[in-house]
Amino acid sequence: MSSSFYSRSESSRGHKHSSGKDSRHRKHHSSKSSGPVQGAGPRFLFVVNEVTFEQTYNERFPLDSWGNQVPPGTTAAYGREHVGRVFQYDNGHVAPAPPEYSWYRPGVGFPGSIIRSNPSGSFHMMVPYKTGTVFACSPHLPIIVAECDVSCDPTWVFKDCRCGNDGDSFRWNLLSFYGARGFTGVNAVAGGTPYVLGANPSWIPSLVPRVFENPDGNVPRSTGLGGDLPTLIGLMAFHGRPGRTSDIFSAGRWQQNQWHGSPHTPTGYPNPLQEDPRGFVVHVAMYMPLEDFDEGAVDALRTEFEEFVRDIIFVRG
């Protein structure tokens, strides 16, 4: 395991849930179970950028099969994002990253990256782990996710699928879950369970809408929330005011693997009668310069990091 995955604090310990969940619910995961983390917990960088729409985009928002508004599938519909501050997660401690870390995108419609600037004026792109987009649309379509950056990657909803034409685009999926024995992981891909895996979680409705509450009264008590990092961080972002999402993390609302923000439904969910769907693009990166690795090594690092974080409880309760 690369030392860059670990917290630099030797006295702290990560909290990892041991589960035997079905690997079919997640892509690129092995089916083996993992025990508690031995040593320090994970360490990574993240940024939350709020999606905006081009003022010249005059088309109606597309609808799914049941008439719910969904985000546009064309990248031309998206405007210049509200750029967030880069933060670091270090074994439960969330804080603004050092000032040399920032978000860089060469222009609208181009992929971006978390970078580290040098005194000389040059910069290094950090190894990207994963990018995802999270949207709240309406009470009938509360949270949908896509494993991409919608500002530069075309997307589609299920009814739009045309066999052979979707190889360069990404599908929107309804938020789903995986887990076992009270642990719930959020999914960014299709195929999970439609309900959380634990009873009486402390993070419903603050992070996960109440419609996803488990109706089975016999499930174990919830132990915590984890899973796909861009999706999880995006769910927190709905507590931020428009254009001020970074305030949530600067104010310590997510700290020591606890949610310290409002226990109520986020005020940032859109009013379906007055507002368009609202969404965020979340980028997670590792503390390693991309230039130090070839493509094969980067893929291996991502897989290794995925195995490391997949069962960690990032929000207890």
Mean pLDDT by 10 residues, the chain (317 residues): 52 41 33 37 95 79 87 92 98 97 95 95 95 95 96 83 58 95 94 95 98 95 98 98 96 98 96 87 95 92 93 97
Which distant-in-sequence residues (6+ apart) come within 8 Å of 123 by Cβ? 104, 115, 116, 117
pLDDT at 26: 34
Lookup: tokens for 115: 């970078």
List of long-range contacts for 92-98, beta carbons under 8 Å, 24+ apart:
92/12, 92/14, 92/41, 92/255, 92/256, 92/257, 93/7, 93/9, 93/255, 93/256, 94/249, 94/252, 94/254, 94/255, 96/249, 96/250, 97/45
Lookup: tokens for 194: 């439609």
Cα angle, residue 191 at apex, residues 35 and 199 outer, rounded to 5°:
60
pLDDT at 58: 64
Position 259: which residue type? W
pLDDT at 11: 32
pLDDT at 30: 31
- List Cα–Cα distances, 275 to 61, 217, 251, 272, in angstroms: 11, 36, 27, 6
pLDDT at 257: 97
pLDDT at 36: 30
pLDDT at 18: 42
pLDDT at 40: 59
pLDDT at 217: 87
Separation CA 292–CA 269 (nearest Å): 40
Parallel, antiparallel or unpaired: strands 144-146 and 173-174: antiparallel
Which distant-in-sequence residues (6+ apart) come within 8 Å of 191 by Cβ? 24, 25, 26, 176
- Sheet with 224-227: list strands edge to edge: 176-180, 183-187, 224-227, 315-316
